Amino acid sequence: MPIATSAARSGRRHAVLAVAALTAALALTTGCGSGHTAAGTDPVQPAGQGTPDYGTGYGSTKGGGYSAPDTPQAGTQQPGDVGVFAHPRLGKILVDRMGRTLYRFNKDSAWPMKFGCTGPCLDTWKPAEPADRARLNGVAPRLVSTVTRPDGTRQLAVGCWPVYWFTGDEQPGDVNGQGRMGLWFAVSQDGKKVTKTANGTESPVVTPSPAG
């Protein structure tokens, strides 16, 4: 009996070490902490937590606003899950495969992982779908990862930050969400937030309180 108990304890230790090693490997791969997975991998989710389908793009039956262009827009590279758009005033910003500008939210947090956009906020700001690292154009793969929201939804993250698209953007490359409430900002090619306004001036930046 003592031998069996010792073997069981040894098995548990090995399992814990394996999980820790996997977590560390993911952190090194993505450059982010726990809660992130490398783009193109499938995170393990608790049973019963499905992934809501927000549709694949503009013009979809799940609330998209317009049809994707048949040809790349001027200033963009060939379509990919995440690409670069050369905005005349904001510079090189990231867009999804439908040309929608990707934004980050100041009330979110990359470390520790925190989602500030929940409830009614998600009616206006839609979590961007996860990307495949094999389908990136002009974006460093190390910047792209996937996070799992509290409801089980998988979301694209850039530079460890969850990113969204804005329902108020009506055409590919629109930046109508830029600087909204001093909290929403387009994402630059290097994964940082762009603080300029659509007019090229600096946007006021609101720093959320620790309480959120």
> What pLDDT is attached to residue 163?
98
Q: How many domains does the chain have?
A: 2
Position 4 pLDDT exceeds 80: no
Q: Tell me the pLDDT band of 141, cut-offs 50, 70 and 90.
A: very high
Position 148 pLDDT exceeds 70: yes
Give the range of the structural domain holding residue 55, as residue numbers without chain letter: 39-186
For residues 122 and 96, state if they share a domain. yes
Position 55 pLDDT exceeds 50: no
> What pLDDT is attached to residue 174?
97
**pLDDT tens-digit readout, 108-130:** 998 888 999 999 999 999 999 99
Q: Tell me the pLDDT band of 5, cut-offs 50, 70 and 90.
A: low
For residue 150, whether the previous peptide bond is cis, meaning omega lies within 30 degrees of 0, is: no
**pLDDT tens-digit readout, 12-49:** 665 545 544 444 444 444 467 666 666 554 443 333 33
What distance in Å separates the CA atoms of residue 61 and residue 130, rounded to the nearest whole number? Answer: 19
For residues 12 and 44, state if they share a domain. no
Position 187 pLDDT exceeds 90: yes
Judged on CB neighbours under 10 Å (0-12, 13-18, 19+), 138 is middle
Whether residue 151 lies inside any domain: the answer is yes
Q: What percent of the chain has pLDDT over 70?
A: 57
Please check whether residue 180 is in contact with residue 205, taking contact to mean a CB–CB distance below 8 angstroms.
Answer: no
Between 50-59, 66-75, 136-145, 191-200, the lowest mean confidence (pLDDT) is in 50-59
pTM here is 0.66
Paired tokens of 56: 């694949």
> What pLDDT is attached to residue 112?
86
What distance in Å separates the CA atoms of residue 31 and residue 164, rounded to the nearest whole number? Answer: 20
Q: Tell me the pLDDT band of 101, cut-offs 50, 70 and 90.
A: very high
Whether residue 22 lies inside any domain: the answer is yes
For residues 19 and 108, state if they share a domain. no
For residues 22 and 49, state if they share a domain. no
Any residues with CB less than 8 A from the CB of 188 and at least 6 apart, and which?
Answer: 91, 92, 93, 94, 194
Q: Where are the beta strands (DSSP E) in 107-199?
A: 125-127, 144-148, 154-158, 161-162, 164-166, 184-186
